[in-house]
Structure 1
Amino acid sequence: MVPRKRPQPPFSSFGWSLSGALLIALSLPPLGMYPLAWVGLVPLLARWAQRRPSVDYVRELYALLLTTSCCVGFWLLFNPDASRAAFGGVSLFVVPIPLVAAFAVAGVVRDRLGLVAGLVSLAVNVLAAEFVTLAVGMSVPWLVLGYTQADAVDFIQMADVGGVLLLSLWVLLLNVTAFLALPRPGASGDLATSRGASMAVFTALVAVPVAYGGVRTAQADVPAGYTTVGIVQPGVSPRDWDGQEAAVKVDHLAGLSDELLAGGPPRASAGGSTAPAAPPNTSGIRLLVWPQTSLPFMGTDQGEAQLYDRLQRWAEARGVTLLAGALVAAEGVERGHRSPDADEIANAAVLIRPGKPALRYDQMRGVPFADREAAAGTDRVLFDADGTEIATAVGFESMFGDHVRRFTEAGADIIVVLSRNDLWGRSAGLYQHLQFTRMRAIESRRAVVISTVNGISALIHPSGEIEETAGWMDQDTRALQVPTFRGETFYVRHGDWLGRWALGLALVFNLGAIAVSVYAPELVRSRRLAPGPARRRPSVA
C-alpha cells in the first residue's frame, strides 16, 4: 500500500507566490491598490513556511521579489541618459536583497524553533532590513512595505508615532494574521479556534488605525499662522530646460514670477542687462519658490556671485524672498583656478534675501541613478523667511523620513521640496515621489510644498491631503496660503526608533535562536515537529 501524499496548505505553490509579489507591486503608487498589500505577502509566507532553507529557495525568493522591484521601478530605465538608465536598471536587481536576507534568516529560525519563532524572526528581520535601507546613503527605498499604504490616508495617520516603519510593521502583522487564519490540512479543534482568533485580530488591526486617524485629525492643532508662498512651475521640456542659457532660464522664471506677484504680464528682467521698474507686489507673497536646478552652474565664483547679486536686487525691488534650486560646486571644491568637473557639481537650494547674504543648503541624501547630481552636503540648513523657518529637501531627499524630520526637530515650520521628475517623462516615478512625500507631512505634522519643473507641483497638508497646484507639463504659477505649525510629534522627537529596536532584536533573537538549537536541542526538539495528523503505518498484506 502506497502512503498518501500529505496535502499542502493553500496558497503555498510557486504560482501563488508570484501572484503575491504582483499584488505588492499593484499596491504601490501610481496604481495605489493599497488593500492588496494586506494579503499580498500571504502566498509568500505560505511558501516560506513549507520550504526548507536552501540555496534553491533563496534563488526562488529573489526571483519573486525581483518581479516586484521591476514592476515598481521600471521607470528608471526611461532616463534619456543611456548610462544612467542602464545603471538604474542594475539597481533594480539590488533592491530585493535586504528582504531576501530577512526571509532567509527567518527560515533558518523557523526550521530550528518552529513556525511562531520563525514569524517573530521574520517581522523583526524585515523591519531591520528596511531600517538599514533607509539609513544607508546608497539605497533605493522603493520596496519599503509601509509605502504600499501611501494612498491610504485614513490608515497612515499613525505615521506620526513611528514613521513609515510603523506602517511596515502594520502591513506585516496583517499578512501574518491572515496567513495564520488559513485552513490547514488535518487541523484540530484548537487550530480552528486559533484561526478564528487570527481573523479577529486581523479585523482589529484594520479598525485601530482608522480610529486613531479619526481622533488625530479631530484634534488637529490650530496653525500658528499662515505664510503666503508663490510656486512657479515653468513647464519647459527637459531638453530645453537643460539646454537653456543662464540668462534665458532666469529671465523666464523672473517673468512668470512677476506675472504672479503683480497679477499682470511680466515687465522686468533679472538676468538681462536692462532692468525696467519693478511691478508692484500686490499678491501678498513673501516667499517665492523656484524648482530644482533653476539657477545654472556659472562655472566660477565670480559668475555665481554676479548672478546671486542680480537676483538679490530683483527680489529686493519686489519685497520678496526667493528660494530656488541651484546647481553648484560641492563644498570644498577648488574653483579659483579651474572649473569643477561634472562629478563635482551638486544640487542645492539657495535662499536669496533682500539686503542679506544668500544662504545655501547642499543636498545631503540621494537615490542612486534617480537623483541627477551627487548628494554632497554635510549640514542641514534652516532658511528663515520673514520669521518662518523653512526646511528644504532637494530631489529624492523626501524619500527619507528620518532625514527630513531632523529639520523639524531643529525648528522648521514648513517643508519645501524642490524637485524635477520630468527626466523620466510622465512615468510611475512622478506619482510615487508625490505620494511617498505625503508621509513626511504626516510624520512631522507640517505642510509640505512641492515645486517641480514640469509637474506635479502641490501643497500637502499635515493630514496628508494633497492639493495639486500644477499638473504634468503645465506652465503655471500659484499663490498658496501655507499653514505653519509648531510642536513635535513622537516621530519627530524619536525618529526611526522602531527600526533601531528591530535591528537590535533581530541580532539578539536570530543569534540566540540558532545558539539554543545548537547547544540545547532538547529544549526545542518538540517544536520542530511539523503540525498535522499522525501518519499511519501501511499495513502489510
Structure 2
Amino acid sequence: SDTTDFLILPEASFSNLRMNGLEKSLSLERLQTFLQQHPNTTVVAGATGYAWVSQAEGPEFELYNAAILLTQDSIARQFHQKSKLVPGSEFFPFENFLWFLRPFFSKFNISMEGFARGSAPTVFRVGATGVGPLICYESLFGTYTAQSVRKGAAALFLVTEDGWWRNSPGYQQHLAFGRLRAIETRRSIARAANTGISCLIDQKGAISKATAYQIRTGIRGNISLERSITFYVRYGDWVGWSAAIALLFCSLWALARRLSW
C-alpha cells in the first residue's frame, strides 16, 4: 500500500550478500524495483553476508549480521552492523587465549570464526524521522538501546531470528526483553521475527498484533513516534548501580558490627 511508511523484514531475510557490493545484489535490486512502484515505503531488513577487508598479510573477508535500509533510489545507503553478538553462535569467547583449541573444534566442523562486531548503535534517518534498528540479542541490553534513543531514534525496529529457541519459553522471554526496552525508553517497537513472535509494542509495553509461533504471516499497524528523553535514557542504570553499592555497603557494615561483637 502507498500509505505504508516502513516495511520491516526479520533478521537474515537476505543472506550471503557481499556487504561492500550490495548494489550488485539481484535480490536487493528486485526489492528496489518493488519500492519504485511504492515510493513512499522504506524497507528495513535483516541481512547476513561478508565483506572483503584489507589486512597487512593480504585481503580477508569478515562475516556480517546486519540491518539495512532500502528506498526507491538507494540500496543500503544506511547500514547497521550488529554490535552485541551471541557467545558461541556468533563469536567464540576468548579466542585469542584459546587458539590452541582450534584443531580440536575443526574435527567436529565447528568454527572459531565469528561475525565482525559493530562499534555502536545506529540510527536510520528517513527525512526528519530517526528509527533505531536492533538485531535479536541487542534487545537484551538496556543501556545499548538507550544510546540509540539518545542519538535520535523516535521508534525502534527489532529484527530477530528466534528459531534456535525452538518451541520453548525462550522465545517468549526474548519478547519480554523487548517490552522492557519499550518501557525504559518510552519508544514504540515494531518487532519482525523469523519463527518467533512478530508484533507491535507501545511505549508502555503493551503488545498488539502478535503472531503465533512458527506461523507464516505478516502484520500491519501504526506506531507512535516519541522524542522525549526518559530518566533511564538520560542516566542509564544509575538506580541499579546505586542499589548495588548501597547493598554492598550495608553488608560490609553488618559484617563489621558482627565482628565487633
TM-score range relative to shorter protein: 0.7 to 0.9
The structure 2 residue matched to 1:316, chosen from 27, 36, 40, is: 36
Partner of 1:45: none
Q: Mapping of 1:15-414 within 5 angstroms?
A: 261=1, 281=2, 284-299=3-18, 301-302=20-21, 304-307=22-25, 308-319=28-39, 320-329=41-50, 333-334=53-54, 340=61, 344-356=62-74, 358-369=77-88, 374=115, 376-414=117-155
Q: Residue in 2 aligned with 1:483?
A: 224
TM-fit CA distance, 1:499: 3.2
1:355 & 1:299 partners in 2: Cα distance? 19
Name the structure where strand makes up a greater proportion of residues. 2
For residues 491 and 508 of structure 1, the distance between their equivalents in structure 2, rounded to whole angstroms, comes to: 24
Confirm whether residue 525 of structure 1 aligns to residue 255 of structure 2: no
Offset, 1:468? 3.5
Structure 2 runs not aligned, ≥5 long: 92-113
Shift in CA distance, 509/334, structure 1 to aligned 2, threshold 3 Å: farther
Match of 1:497 in 2: 238
Aligned counterparts of 1:300 and 1:402: Cα–Cα separation in 2: 28
The Cα offsets for residues 3-37 of structure 1, whole Å up to 9 and x where unpaired, read as xxxxxxxxxxxxxxxxxxxxxxxxxxxxxxxxxxx
Alpha-carbon RMSD: 2.8
Residues 145-165 of structure 1: CA deviation (Å, up to 9, x unaligned):
xxxxxxxxxxxxxxxxxxxxx
Gaps of 5+ in 1: 1-260, 262-280, 527-541
C-alpha change, 1:507 and 1:455, in structure 2 (3 Å) is: closer
Kept in 1, the 8 Å contact 2:42–2:71? The answer is yes
Corresponding letter in the other structure for 1:318: H
Give 1 or 2: higher helix fraction.
1
Q: Distance in 2 between matches of 1:493 and 1:325?
A: 29
Q: Is the 8 A contact 2:159 2:191 kept in 1?
A: yes
**Using a 3 Å threshold, how does the CA distance of structure 1 residues 317 and 449 change in structure 2: closer, same or farther?**
same
In 2, the alpha carbon distance for the partners of 1:504 and 1:491 equals 18
Deviation, 1:298, is 2.7
Describe the SS at the equivalent of 2:221: strand
SS class of match (2:179): helix
Give the drift of 1:286.
1.6
Which of these two proteins has the greater Rg computed from alpha carbons? 1
Q: Could you tell me which amino acid in structure 1 is paired with residue 218 of structure 2? A: T
Q: Report the alpha carbon displacement of residue 339 of structure 1 after superposing the two structures with TM.
A: 6.6
Matched, 1:451 2:192: yes
Q: Whole-Å Cα distance in 2 between the matches of residues 338 and 315 of structure 1? A: 35
Structure 1 residues 397, 511: closer, same or farther in 2, change over 3 A? same
C-alpha distance in structure 1 between counterparts of 2:224 and 2:82, whole Å: 25
Q: Distance in 2 between matches of 1:300 and 1:482?
A: 30
- Paired residue type of 1:325: G
Partners in 2 of 1:321 and 1:300 — Cα distance?
19
Return the alpha-carbon distance in structure 1 between the equivalents of residues 135 and 72 of structure 2.
Answer: 23
Displacement of 1:324 after TM fit?
0.3
Question: Identity, % of aligned pairs?
Answer: 27
Letter in 2 for 1:453: N
**CA displacement at 1:366 relative to structure 2:** 3.0
Distance in 2 (alpha carbons) for counterparts of 1:432 and 1:444: 19
1:400/1:501 CA distance change after superposition, 3 Å: same
Shift in alpha-carbon separation, 1:434–1:492, aligned structure 2, 3 A: same
Q: 2:148 is matched by which residue type in structure 1?
A: F
Distance in 1 (alpha carbons) for counterparts of 2:53 and 2:60: 9
Aligned to 1:246: none
Amino acid at match of 1:314: F
Per-residue displacement from partner, 1:302-346 (whole Å, max 9, x unpaired)?
Answer: 4x331245533432232121100011336x8449x8673xxx422
AA paired with 2:23?
A: A
2-structure distance, mates of 1:441, 1:455: 18
Deviations 1:370-394 (A, max 9, x none): 6686460003211123432111110
Post-superposition shift, 1:474?
A: 1.5
**Kept after mapping to 1: 8 A contact 2:17/2:50:** no
Alignment deviations for residues 387-438 of structure 1 (CA, whole Å, 9 cap, x no partner)? 3211111011111111111111222111111001012321111101011211
